[in-house]
Amino acid sequence: MFSKELLKDQTILVTGGGSGIGKAIAKACLQHGAQVIIASRKEEKLQTALEELQTYGQCRYIVCDIREPEMISKLATDIKEQEGKLDILVNNAGGQFPSRAEDISNNGWNAVINNNLNGTWLMTQTLAKTFFIPQKQGNVVNIIANIFRGFPGMVHTGAARAGVENMTKTLAVEWSPYNIRLNAVAPGIIKSTGLEQYPPEMLKGLSDNIPMKRLGTTEEVANLCLFLGSPLAAYITGETIYIDGGQRLWGDVFKI
């Protein structure tokens, strides 16, 4: 177990923090001494999550669509006025839909690229310019996906997440003079609210195709993010860590 003071005095923004993996990350950060802001599109979801999260520490929410530059600017101003600083950004918001590549419409492709690549970029650039670069200190954790062998059945998100992975490496070098670390976390299949959007027949037998024969938990992903956000990972930057029970190496996710 980590020290309860691992993230003491840290201010952390978790996008998509109202559900699933993001909520688990927010909870873990609160339990380790941080103050946390969660952000996403749906206020009702954020409000419900907040009621649970604030029992663990100081937390609030901001409604923000990561695809909308104006909303992101307002979010940055809001944090500047309220908290006065930001130490860690967790870019967790995202998602996609399963589809054969030949069936994806132009709008469908753009929606997924906008959500996962452009949204992550806009958040990262705005918050780095507002906080991390002037502070000469910052930390970004990007949640991507298991794209190790491509992403058959979800080419749009595979392309977007590969973009985020490369962006993570590039910015780790460009922004190292500002003492900003950036890393990516690549979850395999995690038992979370996100899986509810997949048809039940697609979810049958998934564990059989994972070397460890089980799905991951949101808490396991949160623990990895805690580590990367903390001083324990002070010399790690530009890295992608897979948390997938070995699935990147063996087993089919999609039968194609």
Ligand X SMILES: NC(=O)C1=CN([C@@H]2O[C@H](COP(=O)(O)OP(=O)(O)OC[C@H]3O[C@@H](n4cnc5c(N)ncnc54)[C@H](OP(=O)(O)O)[C@@H]3O)[C@@H](O)[C@H]2O)C=CC1
Compute the least distance from the CB of residue 222 to ligand X, in Å.
Answer: 11
Site for ligand X in 203-242 (CB under 6 A): none
Considering only 111, 113, 159, 241, the residue that binds ligand LOHRUJSQ (CB under 6 A) is: 111
- Sheet of 11-15: strands edge to edge? 59-63, 35-40, 11-15, 88-91, 138-143, 180-187, 240-243
User: Quick check: 229 and 10 in contact, CB under 8 A?
Assistant: yes
Count of residues engaged in binding ligand LOHRUJSQ, rule: CB under 6 A: 20
As a whole number of angstroms, the distance between CA 232 and CA 230 comes to: 5
Nearer to ligand X (CB atom), residue 5 or residue 201: 201
Pick one of ligand LOHRUJSQ, ligand X, none as the site partner of residue 18 (Cβ within 5 to 8 A by kind).
ligand X
Nearer to ligand LOHRUJSQ (CB atom), residue 38 or residue 145: 145
Place of tokens 């104006």: 70
Q: For ligand X, what does the binding mask look like between residues 68 and 107, x meaning CB under 6 A?
A: ------------------------xxxx------------
Site for ligand LOHRUJSQ in 192-211 (CB under 6 A): 194-195, 197-198, 202-203
Pick one of ligand LOHRUJSQ, ligand X, none as the site partner of residue 92 (Cβ within 5 to 8 A by kind).
ligand X
User: Quick check: 102 and 82 in contact, CB under 8 A?
Assistant: no
User: Quick check: 188 and 248 in contact, CB under 8 A?
Assistant: yes
Q: Single out the residue of 144, 143, 140, 145 nearest to residue 171, CA to CA.
A: 140
- Per CB under 6 A, the segment of 2-10, 173-181, 185-193, 224-232 that binds ligand X is 185-193
User: Quick check: 92 and 143 in contact, CB under 8 A?
Assistant: yes
Q: In this structure, which amino acid lies at residue 132? A: F
As a whole number of angstroms, the distance between CA 228 and CA 230 comes to: 6
Which residues would be at the binding site for ligand LOHRUJSQ (CB under 6 A)? Answer: 95-97, 99, 105, 107-108, 111-112, 115, 145, 189, 194-195, 197-198, 202-203, 253-254
